[in-house]
Chain A
Amino acid sequence: MSHALALHGVTKRYGNFVAVDRVSLDVAAGSFLTLLGPSGSGKTTILMAIAGFTVPDAGRILLDTKDITALPPEKRDFGMVFQGYALFPHMTVAENVAFPLRVRGMGRAEREDKVRAALDLVQLSALGDRRPQQLSGGQQQRVALARALVFDPALLLLDEPLSALDKKLRAELQEELRALHRRVGRTFVNVTHDQDEALSLSDQVAILNHGKLIQTGEPAALYERPATRFVADFLGKSNFLEATAEGGVLHLGGLDLAQADAPASGPVLLSLRPEKIALLADGETAANVAPGKILSWSYLGAGYSLVVDTPMGPLRASLPSWRAPIAPAEGLAVRLGWAADAAVAVAEDPA
């Protein structure tokens, strides 16, 4: 059975420094939540509070309806994959996985069955007799997962489980982790500073900065409708247009902007994703058109990344490289166009 988790106003201070500032979160039973934020934003601190290794200075943590804020870690029954995995070097893989079962005083036969099943789950049945230091990084990661799942934990907590791996292996294990989540149907709480990992794995992403929760939502919702400049910038790439509204029309750099649901007046900050900007062919037009010259460009395999100098300032645009209509060159004159609903208004972050 999977459990729901809720944080109410969780706060953690170190001296005068507020590491976690009134964070409230709801994690539905069986869902996959990722805490995403830059280094030092308080992700690990929140995870440690959920696990019971740090006690929050204020706020409550609820498992379903039970208050677990003050419960010691060994009473919580949560599985945890630590940063760096924390496998026991003096035990074999099988002994590592058996550890939580030993703690629970489970009989030998049952223990062996469970260990075998857990190692099967992560496809490591053949390596049960090895020591952790005889395994590759990806294999160690899987042992850590098996060990965290073997005792049917109420919740699985993962602290940057993939950060020590190379890019290709990371992508592979991301898929495995997703599949694993679907198979075991538990509630997962994951921590990462890798936006791709957060977007591809999670049902819900919570974005943190300076210990504060900035925005929570499904990956697509966060990407398409970021609430603040920080979210738009941290999740993917974005251009920022600082325009002024006057009588329902936006002005920037001497040009008028067509923008869906623009406010009537005042300053407006727009986030415009590079992939939503098109390179207009001769005679083609769009709701918004900005002429300009290519300032710099780079080839990324699947596409080009262009920086185009326009009257609105430099804009970053991406262009698929397959049958590209132009060959990018510095100084080349181009016209950029985007739809009225391509950009979204975002709030400036409080300083």
Chain B
Amino acid sequence: MRRDTGWWLLIAPAFLLLTLVYIAPIAQVLAISVMEPSPGLGNYERLFTSESVQRVIVTTLRICIITTAIALLLGYGLAYVIALATERARRWWLLAVLVPLWISVLVRAFAWVTLLRRQGVINEGLIAAGVITEPLALVWNETGIVIGMVHYMVPYAVLPMLAAMREVDPRLLAAARGMGASRGFAFSRVFLPLSMPGVIAAGVLVFIFSLGFYITPALLGGGRTLMVAEWIKLQILDLLRWGLGAMMATVLVLAILATLVVFSRLVNLRRLFGGGA
């Protein structure tokens, strides 16, 4: 018992700090969501009654699911190429994947705006090539948000999938081909299932990141397509509806926790599959 107390004393400063800067504000948010403007679950009732609240949730989920799906597809292809590359090529590939992470989100979002807007390089190029006559609406809508978010998320999708792929014993693929399997068959029956734990991990990571995304949707959505994070900011800072904003923040945290719980179930599946070790 006494030894336990000793340990507690040692971690007490860190614990206090965390409580102060992390847990306390969240608890306060929770409190605000049931106290403002009047005590009760009124704010939460809006989840079922308010069309605008529902619209923002549906939009967010739709964008997140589309972003996750595209990021996983692109990321899987990239990770596959990197996993099969030679040692030296792999280093260059990894650098190319990681460099965007060091560039500010803000800079990247603006870069996309200049590329995607009506007089941007892409639209002008397509018009010049005669593919289209009217510029496409590529930005300040959901398309723009998804493009920007996918760009941001692909590295986060690549890394867990690459880790899982590198754990796949290359002899298993050779064995499959030695038994008569074509490359495609060996891929779908051996490589894909064995890299699945990485796909699931990447999917959860990207999905959770996407749920709370703020800067990219705010800039590339042009204020017309609202996702949860921007909507919360709107409620709290512009409309001063603290209770409603706090309620949505709480829902966001709960959604992330729920995703993680589902994920941990799937991770157990991995042990069942015997992937890795």
Chain B, residues 175-195, CB within 8 Å of chain A (1/0): the string is 111111110010001100110
CB within 8 Å for A90 and B180 given contacts A82-B174, A82-B175, A103-B185 = no
Q: Give the interface size bracket for B toward A.
A: 20 to 34
A53 touches B178 (CB 8 A): yes
Decide if B275 is an interface residue (CB 8 Å cutoff).
yes
In the assembled complex, 18 residue pairs joining A and B whose CB atoms fall closer than 8 Å, in A order, are A51-B178, A53-B178, A72-B177, A73-B174, A74-B177, A74-B179, A82-B174, A84-B171, A86-B169, A88-B175, A90-B194, A99-B176, A102-B189, A104-B180, A132-B274, A133-B277, A147-B179, A151-B180
Q: Across the interface, which residues of B come within 8 angstroms of A147, CB to CB?
A: 179
Q: Across the interface, which residues of A come within 8 angstroms of B254, CB to CB?
A: none
Distance to closest chain A CB from B199 (angstroms): 13
Decide if A129 is an interface residue (CB 8 Å cutoff).
no
Decide if B15 is an interface residue (CB 8 Å cutoff).
no
A89 touches B273 (CB 8 A): yes
Cα-based distance from A88 to B194 in the complex (angstroms) = 9
Q: Give the interface size bracket for A toward B.
A: 20 to 34
Distance to closest chain A CB from B16 (angstroms): 45
Decide if A341 is an interface residue (CB 8 Å cutoff).
no
Majority-rule SS of B interface residues: helix
A100 touches B274 (CB 8 A): no
CB within 8 Å for A86 and B175 given contacts A99-B189, A131-B274, A133-B274 = yes
Chain B, residues 190-206, CB within 8 Å of chain A (1/0): the string is 10011000000000000
Cα-based distance from A90 to B168 in the complex (angstroms) = 11
Interface residues of A in 37-75 (CB under 8 A from B): 51-53, 72-75
Decide if B121 is an interface residue (CB 8 Å cutoff).
no
Decide if A78 is an interface residue (CB 8 Å cutoff).
yes
Cα-based distance from A151 to B179 in the complex (angstroms) = 9
Cα-based distance from A72 to B185 in the complex (angstroms) = 15
Q: Across the interface, which residues of A come within 8 angstroms of B177, CB to CB?
A: 53, 72-74
Report the number of A-B residue pairs with Cβ-Cβ less than 8 Å.
67
Decide if B18 is an interface residue (CB 8 Å cutoff).
no
Distance to closest chain B CB from A287 (angstroms): 54
Q: Across the interface, which residues of A come within 8 angstroms of B185, CB to CB?
A: 103
Give me 15 other A-B pairs in contact (C-beta within 8 A), A53-B178, A86-B171, A151-B180 excluded: A53-B177, A74-B179, A74-B181, A76-B178, A80-B179, A83-B171, A84-B171, A86-B174, A88-B175, A89-B275, A90-B194, A100-B179, A100-B180, A103-B185, A148-B179
B194 touches A89 (CB 8 A): yes
Residue of A with least CB distance to B272: A131
A90 touches B275 (CB 8 A): yes
Cα-based distance from A90 to B169 in the complex (angstroms) = 12
Q: Across the interface, which residues of A come within 8 angstroms of B275, CB to CB?
A: 89-90
Decide if B172 is an interface residue (CB 8 Å cutoff).
yes
Decide if A77 is an interface residue (CB 8 Å cutoff).
yes
Distance to closest chain B CB from A280 (angstroms): 55
